[in-house]
Structures are given as C-alpha cells and as structure tokens.
Structure 1
Amino acid sequence: MEIYRADEHRPPVMPRPSHPPEHLIGQWVSGQCEVRPAVLFLTRYLTFHGDGRTWEGYYQHYADPLCRQPTFTLFASGHYRQGPRSERVAGGTDMVFRVTRARATPLSPAAVQMLNASGPGGCGAAGRWAVGEEQDITETGGCQALGIRLPHTEYELFK
C-alpha cells in the first residue's frame, strides 16, 4: 500500500527493516520479569557503547517469577558481533555476545551463604561475601556457585 492512499480505515503498512543495524547503540531494559532456563528469573539493563562492538549490562536475579525477591546482581561486560539472519524467526538476527568480565553482588543471606561455601578460586574471594558487597569474579574464571564461567559466549535473537 502506498502512503498517500492511506486513510483512517486503511493505514499504511510500513516495511520492517530486514536486518538490525550492524552497530547497536544505546540502552535496552527488560519490559518485565524474564524467565530463563534452570528456573532463573531476572531483569536486564544493557548498554551498547558507541564504538559498535562493546556492551555491558546489569542482570538482576530473583527467587520468584514476579521478580520481587532479589537474590543477586550480576554485572557483565564484553564484546558482541552480529551473526546471520535467524533461520527460525522471520526478520530476526542472531547476535553473539562474548562475556569477558563480571562482578557479582549478593542481595540475600541465602545467596551469601551459597557464595561463601565456594572453595578458593571458585568464586571471587572465598569466604568474604557479604550482602550488598560486590566482588569481581573475572580472575576466578567466573563463579561456579552461580553457574557462570568466563570467558563465556551467549547467543541472543534480535528482532
């Protein structure tokens, strides 16, 4: 349909871009509580830097599907690249995210107990976790207790 022939009964149908821009810039925030595999509930706040290749994000994890009981926050950063067009979702593009750095902040006594049970070299400074105190987990190759291994590759679908 051509735009000049549109009216209130026949709005124009604008073509969707077939491929996202190669360089993402700006922020993206979860619209609601997300459910991920392994019974994880989280919200995400991601920033894509103007250099077109680096990103960082905060992942707020919760104990419940309504995202009302925070357990820990994960800050992650790294690089991304645009993959091929999705074979499963029309108009979608596969993106590849490489996580190279991470920090974790426990937000509940249960999370602190779990992290402090990690052996030396398994998740930040062993036995030194406290509620609300962030630790870098990059040097320990991630955090076994949280299921995080560094470096790590994530695959996401953008549409």
Structure 2
Amino acid sequence: MIVVQTARSNGLMSPDLNGPNWGPGSECRRRLRRLQGGQGIEAVTPPDLHGEWVSSSCETRPGPSYLTRRYKFHSDHSFTFYQFYYSDHQCQSPAYSYRIRGQLTVGGLTFTLDGANEAMYELEKVSLTVFQDRFAMVLARQLNGSCPGMVEPNQPLAIFRKYVVLDNSRDVVQIDCTPGLGFTMNELQLIRQEVYQRRVENSGIVRRSESLYLGDIHTDFGQRVIYRSKGYQTPLRRYDDDSEVRTVMAWGSY
C-alpha cells in the first residue's frame, strides 16, 4: 500500500512526481492514480465473470507454494478451475494440480473492501493429479488425514493418476478429503473486477485490459478453511484481452 503525505511542519516531503520512482509510467504513479480513483480504471459492479481468467505471472502463496491459476466461468454460473502448483518460484517444474468444478452466486457489495462483491460458491468435484515423486508421499499422508484408507499406509500417490478428493455429485457417495490438504476456494467469497483503459502513446489506439481480484489466503495452513478474506490476491487477467498473459500457460490442462 502506498501512503502519500504532503509537506507539513513535521518535515515530510511530498513525492517528486517527475523523479524515477514517481515519474510518468512508473509503478508508484500507477498505484497512486488507482488510490485516488484513477484515470481509466473502473470497478465493474456486479462483476461480469463470464470467460477465462489466468495468472499473469508465477504466484506465491503462504507456505510458500508456487502456482498459476486458470479459472473459467460459464454462462450458467458454473465454473471450471485449474490450479497448477510448482516446486520452484519461477513456476517451471510442475508438482501437482487441482481441477475444480462448482457453482458461483454473486451477491451485493461487501463492507469488507470498497468496490468488492460478496459471493457464495458450491464445489461439485475436485480432483488431484501429482507430477513429482517428492510430493506423492506428502499428499498421500494429507489425504489419509481426512479420508483414512484412501491410500494404502506408507504408499505414495501414483504419478499422473487423477484422484477425486471431493465429489458432491448426486449419483455417488459424497466424499470430501480436502481439509487434510488445506484446500479451500474461500477466495471466491470476495470478488472485484476492474477494467483499465490506456491510450497508446503517439497513437489514437486505446487498449483495454481486465483484472479479477479474489480474496486472500490465510498464512496459517490450519486456518485457511475457516478464514474469510480481508484483502486480495495477485489479480488474474482476462485471457483474451492481451496476448502477454498467454506466456504463463506453460503447460495446458489435462
């Protein structure tokens, strides 16, 4: 967060808006413009989620864990999400992934954060696939912590096999082994969509991009399932609004 204080008797100086940190095009100037209401930045209320949203870079969550997200919202209020986790901070070595299906209902504005909407979600099916041996045993123990016997004792998960860890389908016995994994989608309880328009220098072209802010994740592994977000994660970008977001999709869905 950037706090701007103007010069007063306490001796604090106002920022140099022409300097390298605050000059045109700088990150500080961009954030300041957004804090002040911004030029060309608009919150979409209610959010128009239909379509595909992806990470614009490798993300870090408490743990630490490294991931990219690929979220698709359908016109019937259902969603299909992919979370790809990696063993390195550059998101180049796939470790495991989740495929998530469910339903989302967006509500009204929340008092938690300005311009954000509350939402309710229901998970229908979550599956887990492991790609590295070093994670296979750890995840097997975590699964057995919620669903004893799902994996043979002291046996790792099979590499590249899809394990259904949550299933609320009406035609099957309902299972939910996600608590032991620390898996939750409570980030969907807080949603803010922004549209940003900027004019390309020396041209009449106006470029438009869209960002999707979802709720933050608790730093304590054991608190994540019950935590209600008070801030945002790194925003997702609408997949079709700028070719640069395609570079993070290092490997596709399965």
TM-score with structure 2 length normalisation? 0.48
The alignment status of 1:65 with 2:89, answered yes or no, reads yes
Provide the rounded CA distance (Å) in 2 between the counterparts of 1:124 and 1:56: 28
Alignment of 1:68-147 (within 5 A): 68-87=92-111, 89-117=113-141, 118-119=143-144, 122=147, 125-127=150-152, 129-138=157-166, 139-147=174-182
State the one-letter code of the partner of 2:162: E
Q: 2:70 aligns with which of 27, 40, 45?
A: 45
Choose the corresponding residue for 2:58, options 18, 23, 33. Answer: 33
| Greater percentage in helix | 2
Partner of 1:24: helix, strand, or coil? coil
For the residues of structure 1 that align with 2:190 and 2:92, how far apart are their CA atoms?
A: 25
Map of 2:13 onto structure 1: none
CA distance in structure 1 between the partners assigned to 2:182 and 2:126 by the alignment: 12
Letter in 1 for 2:128: A
Higher-Rg structure is 2
TM-score by length of 1: 0.72
The letter of the residue matching 1:113 is M
Equivalent in 170, 181, 190 of residue 156 of structure 1: 190
- Deviation for aligned residue 1:36: 2.2
Q: Residues 109 and 115 of structure 2 are in contact (CA less than 8 Å); yes or no, is this contact kept in structure 1?
A: yes
Pairwise CA distance, 1:116: 3.1
**Kept after mapping to 2: 8 A contact 1:123/1:143:** no
* Identical amino acids, percent of aligned pairs: 22
Greater share of residues in strand: 1
- Could you say what secondary structure the match of 1:119 adopts? helix
Gaps of 5+ in 2: 1-38, 167-173, 194-254
Q: What are structure 1's unaligned runs of at least 5 residues?
A: 1-12
